[in-house]
Amino acid sequence: MSEFWLKKMKYYFKIHDFDHDGYINEDDFGEIGRRFAVSRNATADKKEELMRSLRRVWQIYMKYEDPKSSKRLTAAIFIESIKKQLYDPDFVTLLQQVILGLFELLDVNQDGYLQPEEYYGFFDDMGFPKEAFNRKAAFDAMDTNHDNKLSIDEFNTSFMDFMFSQNESDAGNYFFGPLVD
């Protein structure tokens, strides 16, 4: 894997470590689900569906855990787990299901697209300060057809590029905003 891909995965780890203890655990993933469900006024069914999907993702991440890890992952173990599963069709399918569910939650007006403000809500839910980076630049990078809205295909492609691509110019590298250490 390239140094660039490793940088993305370290960043991905960092933004999912909600309590900033240097580990990702099931509680961190639960917090992701709770934030999205609350901020989007999700129905009980949608919330449960999201939580179930996030639990499945967590279980897949734990697939290669160190038995001494106490059900928590360090960045190194997390990245190693991702590396081992990158081309596993079950892993890819699960990630796509989670992205579809996330898209549906973010699409507040339910028009089948994410408007800039709906996408910016994603950053709020992830706990990123508004002044942390140019949200519009991140949105514009992912809006490949330049219609000022994100389709499910653009959203999914961007996420998959973030997770799998080693190309530094892919639009998906901005899925979670610019990479910062």
Q: Is the pTM of this model over 0.75?
A: yes
The pLDDT, as a whole number, for residue 68 is 64
Residue 7: is its pLDDT beyond 80? yes
Residue 27: per-residue pLDDT: 86
Residue 113 is predicted with a pLDDT of: 97
pLDDT exceeds 90 at position 133 = no
List, as own/partner pairs, every contact residues 29-36 make where C-beta atoms lie below 8 angstroms and the sequence separation is at least 24, other chains included: 29/54, 29/55, 29/57, 29/58, 30/54, 32/125, 32/126, 35/125, 35/126, 35/127, 36/102, 36/105, 36/125
Q: Percentages helix, strand, coil for the chain, rounded to the nearest 5? A: 65, 5, 30
Helix (H, G, I), strand (E, B) or coil at 43: coil
Q: What is the mean pLDDT of the chain?
A: 86
Count the residues in the chain.
181
The answer to whether residue 146 scores a pLDDT higher than 80 is yes
Nearest to 73 by CA among 160, 9, 144: 9
Distance CA 14, CA 26 (A): 15
Q: What is the pLDDT of residue 95?
A: 87
